[in-house]
Amino acid sequence: MNYESVIGLEVHAQLATTTKIFCGCSAEFGADPNTHVCPVCLGLPGALPVLNQNVVELAMHIALAAGCTIQPRSRFLRKNYFYPDLPKGYQISQFQSNEEMPLATGGGVDVPTEDGGTKTIRLTRIHMEEDAGKSIHQEDFVASGESLVDVNRCGVPLIEIVSEPDLSTSEEAFHYLTSLHQLLVYTGVSEGDMEKGHMRIDANVSIRPVGETRLGTKVEIKNVNSFRNCQRAIESEIQRQIGLLETGGEIEQATMLYDPDRNILRAMRTKEESDDYRYFPDPDLVPLVVDHAWVERVQNQIPELPEAKRARFAEDYDMSADQIEVLTAGRDVADYFEATVAAGVQSRIAANWIQGDVMRVLNDRKIAIGDLRVSAESLAELIGLIDKGDISTNIARTVFDDMVETGESPAAIVEKKGLVQISDAGELDGVIDQIIADNPDEVERFKGGDQKLMGFFMGQLMRATKGQANPQKASQLLREKLG
Ligand code: ADP
Ligand code: MG
Ligand code: ZN
């Protein structure tokens, strides 16, 4: 029997607000445990939540970017469950039912397919909710059998983006997550810092015989924190399910945890139904009403999105498909590229430099392009020096590294270090004569027809001039002198 897999993802993304969703506490990561707290996010009796308007704004940004419909009226509900990291005993969230609406419904995210096309993964909804705290179980931190709780994260704003079960493979799931991440960061909705847990994924996985239209029983893999791990977790769950069915077993609806270190899934619990959460409208929060003018205002603030930018780059600039991917992966890099071109550099050359040396430095130093000490204008100036014949491309690369280090202008570095290229025939003549005098054997062999020795002579010449000889000029002179 041939099986196909069906996957739907629930992605929690942390919004880039400075404060929490229902109180004024800082939402910043990394503070001392239990210092960003107040009666509201601790859930003390009598404390009243007040919705952070910025949370709604950011949620609307991603919803509109993904083509969702903003619901004119939505509610916050209490999702009741007990867990040590949830002092209130409930999480304020949104829900979709006959009675209640979340902030946004519908829409979709495009993912690339294997054949070079795209496929739209439909979204069910995007809703807002608060995060829970964090239990700390590390053995080196607490006495055995004990756990600690840090409630700083309680009330940090999240959106949950729920997809329809439209994904067919673990790889498609990976692409979906990458596209979504890019969209969240482009729109400024989330910083998307995976190391700080800004995106956490629940993956729902089922299989069915090819040709079957009904969905199979799904297993939910909870709380995966990287895209590759998510892909691997889905893949091993698909294999597990196929193995089960092929040996006459049956799939039980369940919630699993993925252990990335051992690449195994552990059963966490048999899944509770939403009824178990006893959702009911939070009586402390009025319904959220979003009028048309507000939607329109946010719509107008949405920047050019990755897909549109890729299409425009392909149209307007001379670069490879690979370079389009790299240069549009982040808005900041794309802007830097366009500023370099605006400063007079040909798009192909700017693309090569940014994809090569600029990205190398960003990766090595783990910095954003905004923190690079070489502005787009300085890069253009550097490339201009190559065009003028003042320096060779090789020298330019060392000047670039110097610019990264010092923030100085390329002209100043070339001047200070005396790196101007030697194109002067008189000056090169002397060096070449010396090389010919020093290497009589090689000269003899070259004259006897061993053309490969040209490389040897150029090497000698570059060594003697510390790489500053103009390569075209030098090789031309060498050929003349060697006959
Ligand atoms: P629950 O109530 O268990 O959270 P939902 O119906 O709300 O289930 O769906 C949650 C997620 O699971 C959605 O992303 C949805 O696309 C996905 N999903 C639902 N049924 C299946 C299935 N049979 N196989 C794979 N994914 C599914
Ligand atoms: Mg769920
Ligand atoms: Zn608080």
Task: Tell me how crowded residue 178 is: count the other CB atoms within 10 A of its CB.
Answer: 14
Alpha-helical (H) ranges within 23-155 are: 39-42, 53-65
Tell me the residue length of the chain. 483
Q: How far apart are CA 202 and CA 255, in angstroms?
A: 10
The confidence score (pLDDT) of residue 271 equals 55
Instruction: Judge contact between 317 and 349, C-beta under 8 A.
Output: no
Q: Which residue has the tokens 């995210």?
A: 109
Residue 188 dihedral angles phi and psi, to the nearest 5°: 75, 15
What are the structural domains, with CATH classification, of the chain?
Answer: 3-297 (no CATH), 304-417 (no CATH), 425-482 (1.10.10.410)
Looking at residue 415, its pLDDT comes to 86
Helix (H) or strand (E) holding 14: strand 3-14
Any idea which ligand is nearest the CA of 25? 3
In degrees, rounded to 5, the angle at the alpha carbon of residue 302 between the alpha carbons of residues 296 and 307 is 130
Give me the pLDDT at residue 141, please.
64
Share of residues in the chain with pLDDT > 90 (%): 78
Distance CA 174, CA 167 (A): 10
Cα of 392 vs centre of ligand 1, distance in Å, is 59
Bridge partner residues of 278 (DSSP): none
User: 268 CA to middle of ligand 2, Å?
Assistant: 14
Q: Which of 289, 279, 302, 304 is nearest to 56 (CA)?
A: 289
Taking the mean position of all CA atoms in its chain, how far away is CA 206?
27
Q: How far apart are CA 56 and CA 63, in angstroms?
A: 10
Contact in structure between 336 and 377 (CB atoms under 8 Å): no
Ligand at minimal distance from the CA of 8 is 1
Calculate the alpha carbon distances from 225 to 145, 177, 182, 194, 222 in Å: 25, 11, 16, 7, 9
216 lines ligand 1 (CB under 6 A): yes
Which residue's CA is the nearest one to ligand 1's atom 22? Answer: 218
Q: Which of 320, 296, 311, 303 is nearest to 110 (CA)?
A: 311
Residue 354 CA to residue 327 CA, distance in Å, equals 8
How many C-beta atoms lie closer than 10 Å to residue 16's C-beta? Answer: 19
Residues 319, 348 contacting (CB under 8 angstroms): yes
Cα(19) to ligand 3 centroid in Å equals 9
Q: Hey, whose CA ends up nearest to atom 14 of ligand 1?
A: 8
Name the 3-class secondary structure at 119: strand
Helix ranges (H only) for 152-195 are 170-186
Say what the pTM is: 0.86
- Does the C-beta of 215 come closer than 6 Å to ligand 1? yes
Which residues touch 119 (CB under 8 Å, ≥6 apart)? 110, 111, 113, 166, 172
Return the pLDDT at 273.
Answer: 65
Return the best residue to mutate from 166, 204, 207 for the ligand 1 pocket (most ligand atoms within 8 A of CB): 204
Contacts of residue 325, Cβ cutoff 8 Å, sequence gap at least 6? 310
Would you give the distance in Å from CA 256 to the centre of its chain?
Answer: 26
pLDDT of res. 451: 86
HSE-CB of 389 using CA atoms within 13 angstroms: 7
pLDDT, position 274: 64
Flag residues of the chain having pLDDT under 70.
139-144, 269-274
Compute the distance from residue 6 Cα to the ligand 1 centre, in Å.
10
Here the tokens at position 261 are 């270190």
